[in-house]
Amino acid sequence: MAEVERELERHVTGRTEYVTTAARHLLHAGGKRFRPLLVLLAAETGPDAASDDVVTAACVVELTHLASLYHDDVMDEAALRRGADSANARWDNHVAILTGDFLFSKSSELTAELGADAVRIQAQTFTRLVEGQIMETVAPAADADPLEHHLAVVAGKTGSLIATSALYGARFAGAPREVEEALAAYGEIVGCAFQISDDILDIASDSDESGKTPGTDLREGVPTLPVLLARRSSDPADARLLELLDADLTDDALHAEALGLLRAHPAMAEARAYVVDRAHEAKALLKVLPEGPVREALDAFADVVATRTA
């Protein structure tokens, strides 16, 4: 990971100080480096875990992720990201969008170094990621299940890139094809669980803990699993919460009230249980790997996603 950090620093350097400062903004704000960590961990399933291509692939997925955050914050009108001012808050929407584009292009340059197959995988991943983002802005069809629509959004906007992270790690370390396929499926499930866990934390945590403005999706009317589960309630005691979920929550007082009611709702526990179940499903895919420290680490990785508090 230390090598990945050094390479990321190099790859976000532009030809002018202004571009470099903007591109480094969220990189320096921290983050869990979840995706490159999974690349490196998945690479341990192959004989060439220390390959330069593995490090390059780790940079590819993190740069893609970082780029998407710049665009996310514009869409969400978010003021905070990782405890720091978002790029759109520090500069403006134009700078944030173009910096995201700059990082996407850097990721594409690196992917080309990995070969045509990696370019194809990255392009397919990016298609799914963007389509997931678009679907998030559109209400489900009248005859569609809102929960299924939401889970499809999560799979596209988050699960796809994390699946590619696991696939890249296995492929560029020379793991067998059956391991590649198992880890890609594992990554997709863990990625979806990670996003849902993040959505739960967005409701449950204060900004000091999460590094983001709490309840951002709630304020913007973006449905998340806890909200969708709460909406299914027919309990008369939930009437006020359901009323608020249909209200304009850009009002600070209404937003605070809705957030408080949602935090205390059984839907939160139900959503956490769903994440734990998904982690167990992902771990079952690891039976293709021999017993040992690598499989144990991937097991633990899924558990951390399911139980994390920050």
The pLDDT of residue 26: 79
Please provide the size of the chain in residues: 310
H or E element at residue 84: strand 84-85
Hey, where are the domains in the chain?
1-175, 177-309
Residues of the chain with pLDDT under 70: 76-84, 86, 89-91, 207-212, 309-310
Interior/surface letters 110-136, b for 16+ CB within 10 angstroms, e for the rest: bbeebeeebeebbeebbebbeebbebb
**Fold annotation for 1-175:** Farnesyl Diphosphate Synthase (1.10.600)
Does this chain's domain 1-175 share its CATH topology with 177-309? yes
Non-local CB neighbours of 192 within 8 Å, separated by 6+ positions? 151, 154, 155, 158, 159, 278
The pLDDT of residue 100: 86
CATH of 177-309, one of 3.50.50.60, 3.40.50.150, 1.10.600.10, 3.40.50.620: 1.10.600.10
- What angle (nearest 5°) sits at the alpha carbon of residue 183, between those of residues 182 and 186? 90
The pLDDT of residue 309: 59
Q: Which tokens sit at 62?
A: 């993190």
Taking the model in full, what pTM does it have?
Answer: 0.89
